[in-house]
Amino acid sequence: MRPDAGPVSRALLTLELVQAQPGITAERLADRLGVSERAARRYVGMLREAGIPIESTRGPYGGYRAGRGLRMPPLVFTATEATGLVMAVLDGHHAASDPADPVGSALGKLIRALPEPVAETAEAVRRTAAAAPDRAAVRPDPAIATALVRACGERRLARVEYASESGREWTVDVEPWAVVVRHGRWYLLCLPVGRDGSRSYRIDRVRGVEVLDQTFHPPVDLDPVAALEESLGTGWEHVAEVLVDATPDVVAHHLPRTLGRFEPTADGRTRVVGSTSNPAWYAHELTALPVPYRVVGGDALLAAAREVAARLVAATERPGAPDGPGS
């Protein structure tokens, strides 16, 4: 706190601290204000005299907190902040100007609450900027996503009703470890109860969620993004095994982790072990490698790799040149 701040400024800062840190003690409040505990209590008294409900509790876990009925202070944005917020929404959700869309409606309410000079530029960007839709992006039901995020945060089991891409439906109890957004798609990284190995479920395919009372403990060293990408490369019908003449860090730089595990070999190479429902896609991804590699497992992947190789060779052939590519 600045030494020249007056009582009103300190009282307003007191309100801000109480709202931001429910249960803050007089000692901590005094430290943040740069005053004595007696003075901190005086500023709390000023707020109460102004009709602002500030509650206090005694004891080792006591402190100050805002009472019921206290209205939140107005949000204050600069024009640059407001425009940046609209740009972020457009970048991730392309219905920013549609009042029928929940995000478009919420953003419209926010802009209407801002002073006109601040809102003017943001509103112009919202209504005139054209965002090319991400064809791979699929947004889930907000209520289902919210329930799963809550289950993750509270570390409680969840009963998930799921429908696969093929139309098969089932219900499973899971430990919801994390919700991960990857390339415009929302995934639930979880461990089905009674099964080995994590699973990843597309949240847009979740038909219902029930948060259960039982709790769980997620892995201590969990990296949600890495675990999701690895799980996306397992459990499919076509096995894949590829031997790459490079170390795992080089392979990871060129290939997505969704292809499977990158296992180092004794001779300094990498064995990529995974599975796929789309061997043609898998074979195409392998062409990003700038080093030699060989498909050593998976008949479907081997056939797909040969087709990709044939197309690449055909693309180099010149019409009327009998001596082969480059002649």
Structural domains of the chain, with CATH: 7-66 (1.10.10.10), 80-128 (no CATH), 142-222 (2.30.30.520), 238-315 (3.30.70)
Nearest CA-CA partner of 123 in 174, 87, 177, 170: 87
In Å, how far from its chain's centre is CA 262? 24
- Which pLDDT tens digits describe the chain residue by residue (327 residues)? 444 456 667 787 888 888 888 888 888 888 888 888 888 888 888 888 877 888 888 766 678 888 766 655 556 677 777 777 777 776 666 666 777 777 777 778 777 777 777 778 778 877 777 667 666 667 788 889 889 988 998 999 999 999 887 778 999 999 999 998 887 788 999 999 988 888 889 899 999 999 999 999 999 888 998 888 877 777 778 899 999 999 999 999 999 888 988 999 999 999 999 888 889 999 999 999 999 999 999 999 999 999 999 999 999 887 766 655 555
Strand partners, 295: 242
Maximum separation of any 2 CA atoms in the chain, in Å:
96
Contact call for residues 148 and 210 (beta carbons, < 8 A): no
Contact call for residues 40 and 47 (beta carbons, < 8 A): no
Provide the whole-model pTM.
0.55
